[in-house]
Structure 1
Amino acid sequence: MARVELFARTEIGCVRERNEDAFIVANITTGVRGLRPTTTVQELTESIGLIGVCDGMGGAAAGDQASRIAAETLYDKLMAATALNEASNVQEAMLGAVVGANRAIAEYARQHPGKRGMGTTMTGVLIYGHELHIVHVGDSRAYIRRGRTLTQLTSDHSIVGQMVATGQLTADQARSYEHRNVLLQALGVQPTIQPELVVANPCAGDVLMVCSDGLTGPLDDNHILEIMLKHHDPVRCCRALTEAACAAGGPDNVTVGIARFLGEGLPIPDPNQGVQVRRASHTLQ
């Protein structure tokens, strides 16, 4: 039977005084969350899984609280969704969750004036049968490793992300660009957001990774892929990736979530075809 194995890990890094990242791993069908046996191994035909990473805005007021609010709101809103029986309902629920998180952070900042400026990224993945539904705001990322290829599924909502997308910078140039940490979007900052929705279909042996930029800052994609190829178990893979980011200087908090797809019933990947992705952006408030 097809199943997914999940794990996530966060580290403060070597420079920051506190960890402003947050992650969520949950079984939406049972309501159980956290790194427990019923969440870290889920049957695809019986459970709806959730894994996500939120990165509080570094240096901003209460970034750790913003990321925690976003992760908890994502979970709460999906748990409250009563009609997760069709893909269109799933996408509506994901968009409702990100809007809810945006409002919740803004309301918290309004009630606590000293926290104004708090915000966070969000990259959340709902594992819905044989589909991945990703809601994304900011510069955390989702990837799929298929065989020996690592494919980025999300777009970076940042100045350098936009410049790479338009061909003004290469990915290598973006890593050392002066304004690489300037976000164009974050939750809790503006009443209007433009989340990206991405849908992909995992194949047997695929590995989904969600991560904060504390991983992709010090490590390039080739280095990340090399580590993922060495460590297939999600627990060991998360540990190896976070430790490698820290060994490379650990300039930021680093959080990694891994989901590995195994078992009968999943399609066999076509070696001549890459990961097929359907994406759309929405303007919401």
Structure 2
Amino acid sequence: MARVELFARTEIGCVRERNEDAFVVANVRTGERGLRPGTTLQELGIGVTLIGVCDGMGGAAAGDIASKIGAETLYETLMSSTPLGDHASVQEAMLSAVAAANRAILDYARSHPGKRGMGTTMTAALVYGHELYVLNVGDSRGYLRRGRALTQLTTDHSVVGQMIASGQLTPEQGRSYEHRNVLLQALGVQPVIQPEIVHVSLRAGDVLLMCSDGLTGPLEDARILELMLKYQDPVRCCRALTEAACAAGGPDNVTVAVGRFVGEGLQIPQGREPVSVRRASHTLQ
């Protein structure tokens, strides 16, 4: 039986006064959510698995509320879209969910003037059969570990992310760039958003990592990969990653979700088979 083993964890870090991150883990077939037996172990091919990470922004402007609205709206919209009958409907449901989340945060800010400026990133994954779809707005990230290689699936919607993508900066230079925290996109900021959807065919042994930048800020990808290789169990891996981010200074809230794909039925990777990423950007209002 092919299955995904899941876990998620969030920590306030060492500097922030409150946690503005939020995550959601759910079994879309049953509607069950949270870290429960029916969500942390799911059989592939029967239903749809949801993993989402939101990193709120705005401080006093209620980034914690924005991330919570984002995660709640993501879950509720996807549940109202079921059953998801094919790959096209999965992607359509994801786009509907992120558009609904953007509207919900904008509406909340309009009705609460003191919260103007609130917003959140969103990185959400749906597992449909043996296929993985990751949607992204902002600079939270999705990675896939295959063998001993770690591939960043998402593109950072930030000034630094754009400069790295265009070749103006290397990833190493981007870590110390002055404006590395300036986002080009977030939910709840503008009526129009341009989410990216990434599609990957899963292989046996693949490990998905979803995280806020509280992990990728203090830890380099090489260190993240080292810990993922050392701790195969998702529960221990989530704990090791969050604790390492805090040990490195914990400058921000840190949230991680890890999904390990195992069992019969999944195609075995051929040698050092690279992760084949198909991506598309969409404009929504």
TM-score by length of 1: 0.99
Tell me the amino acid that sits aligned with residue 53 of structure 2: V
Identity %: 74
Question: 1:231: Cα distance to partner?
Answer: 0.2
Distance in 2 separating the partners of 1:271 and 1:241 = 27
Distance in 2 separating the partners of 1:269 and 1:35 = 29
Distance in 1 separating the partners of 2:86 and 2:202 = 18
1:2-13 equivalences under 5 Å are: 2-13=2-13
CA RMSD of aligned residues (A): 0.8
SS at match of 2:17: coil
Distance in 2 separating the partners of 1:263 and 1:58 = 42
Matched, 1:268 2:264: no
* 134-143 vs 265-274, which moves further: 265-274
Structure 1: gaps (5+ residues): none
Displacement over 2 Å in runs of 4+ = none
TM-score by length of 2: 0.99
Question: 1:57: Cα distance to partner?
Answer: 1.2
Distance in 2 separating the partners of 1:219 and 1:65 = 27
Q: Is the 8 A contact 1:56 1:121 kept in 2?
A: yes
Matched, 1:103 2:103: yes
Tell me the amino acid that sits aligned with residue 120 of structure 2: T
SS at match of 1:53: strand
Matched, 1:279 2:247: no
Distance 1:60 1:121, change over 3 A: farther
Matched, 1:27 2:27: yes
Tell me the amino acid that sits aligned with residue 4 of structure 2: V
Distance in 2 separating the partners of 1:7 and 1:71 = 16
Tell me the amino acid that sits aligned with residue 190 of structure 2: Q
Tell me the amino acid that sits aligned with residue 62 of structure 1: A
Distance in 2 separating the partners of 1:225 and 1:60 = 34
Aligned to 1:129: 129
State the number of aligned residues: 285
Cα deviation code 1:214-272 (max 9, x no counterpart): 00000000000000000000000000000000000000000000000000000101224
Question: 1:201: Cα distance to partner?
Answer: 1.2
Aligned to 1:86: 86
Distance in 1 separating the partners of 2:251 and 2:216 = 11
Cα deviation code 1:14-58 (max 9, x no counterpart): 000000000000000000000000000000022211011000015
1:99-248 equivalences under 5 Å are: 99-248=99-248
Q: Is the 8 A contact 2:26 2:50 kept in 1?
A: yes
Q: Is the 8 A contact 2:23 2:54 kept in 1?
A: yes
1:37-52 equivalences under 5 Å are: 37-52=37-52
SS at match of 1:142: strand
Matched, 1:73 2:73: yes
